Chains A and B, each alone.
Chain A
Amino acid sequence: MAGAAPPGAPATTATYVYAVCRGGDESALAGLRGQAPGSPVRLLRFGGLAAVVQDVPAAEFGEDALRERLTDRTELERCARAHHAVIAAAAGVAPVLPFPLATIYRGDARAEAALGADRARLTAALRRIAGRAEWGVKVYARQADRRTAPAADKPERPDRARVAARPGHAYLDRLRGLRHERESRQEAGLQAVEEVDRSFARLAVAARRLRPHDTGLTPGRGAHLLNAAYLVDEARGDEVADAVRRLRRSPECRDVEIELTGPWVPYSFVEAGVTGAGG
């Protein structure tokens, strides 16, 4: 343990913080591998709250070492999955406030001091997310070959004779057609997103728009139109699935694909809670 190191010597372990919870039960964390298999995931109590922590090798979790590792997609995925597994296990027994990936302090004493100083904000955030779950809603444009847009919207096929006689005019007509199609597609996408957001706003106590991700990461999908997270009371979980079913059938959402994930530990609402925004 970091505390055991002789004064002055650099600590060989650091304290990795996964989450903060109220109460909590160490037995729920038994057997978790976390980021450093071999050292137990445990609770670090401070002022009425508890942090879910683990001792990790300082050399592997230094600033440079971490940056190096997390730029590697495979390694990033492994770390994120380990991080989430611990948080999900902790969330099974008590409301937890998940911390960002790779929140690291130099030893328990530092972690305790820093978290203790933040106690009021953490308590408020915990109160805000208790009994609530996060649902992720993503909306993608349907890809061209799977669109159901009426044929009238498609640019007409120019007949060969006219093209041969006036290729310039034919090219301009084709441009106009493409432009018109693109505009109506964008318009339809916006309407779908609005409809989805309206439906969820009625269910959720808080909402956040996240940055749509690079379409290169989701091959086989159209443009990413909406990436939103909604904080919903656990009791209303069924209504979420109903809402998505209804939306998928609605005419506004004809040419989009709606993807629902959850319930999640409210990762996206930790910050909003901390700043005290919303209910």
Chain B
Amino acid sequence: MTLTSHQPARAPAAGRLDLDPDRVGRDLVSLVLTVVELLRQLMERQALRRCDQDDLTDEQVERIGTTLMMLDQRMDELCAEHGLSRDDLNLDLGPLGTLLER
């Protein structure tokens, strides 16, 4: 019930099932991208923690940073390809807040 996407209200009313194949396809894409984005953010967090521990060489840190940066860019491209913005991927979990950081 409270799991509503932050996308602009395209559906006329909440709680109704819209079976337009185009929209179902889009919703699926945005759900998949949401999961990908969640994983990406978790990876970033984990990587930052590792880099802060000081047991990596400068070169390793640089490589991690570059990889994360490219992932971030790739995510932007994927969203653009599907006409979505990063905010569209977020889910409102009601009392728990939002799924992704803002």
Contact = CB atoms under 8 A, between A and B. Distances in A.
Contacts of B8: 216
B102 A223 contact: yes
Contacts of B13: 71-73
Contact of A211 (B4, B44, B94): B94
Interface string B36-74: 000000001001100100000000011111111100100
Nearest to A185: B102
Size category of the A interface is: 10 to 19
Interface in A173-195: 175-176, 179, 182
Given A71-B14, A214-B4, A223-B102, A168 B65 contact: yes
A165 to B, nearest CB: 10
Nearest to A165: B62
Interface string A145-175: 0000000000000000000001111111001
Contacts of A223: 102
A170 B65 contact: yes
Nearest to A75: B13
A169 B48 contact: no
A223 B13 CA distance: 23
Contacts of B62: 166, 168-169
Contact of B65 (A71, A171, A211): A171
A39 interface: no
A250 interface: no
B18 interface: no
Contact of B63 (A168, A175, A179): A168
Given A71-B15, A176-B48, A211-B94, A168 B9 contact: no
B6 A216 contact: yes
Given A73-B13, A214-B4, A215-B6, A172 B65 contact: yes
A24 B72 CA distance: 64
Interface string B19-46: 0000000000000000000000000100
Given A71-B16, A172-B48, A216 B9 contact: yes
B44 A175 contact: yes
Contacts of B83: none
Interface string A64-80: 00000001110000000
Which of A168, A176, A182 has its CB near the most chain B CB atoms (within 10 A)?
A168
A168 B12 contact: no
A262 B62 CA distance: 56
8 contacts: A168-B63, A168-B66, A170-B65, A172-B65, A175-B44, A179-B48, A214-B4, A216-B92
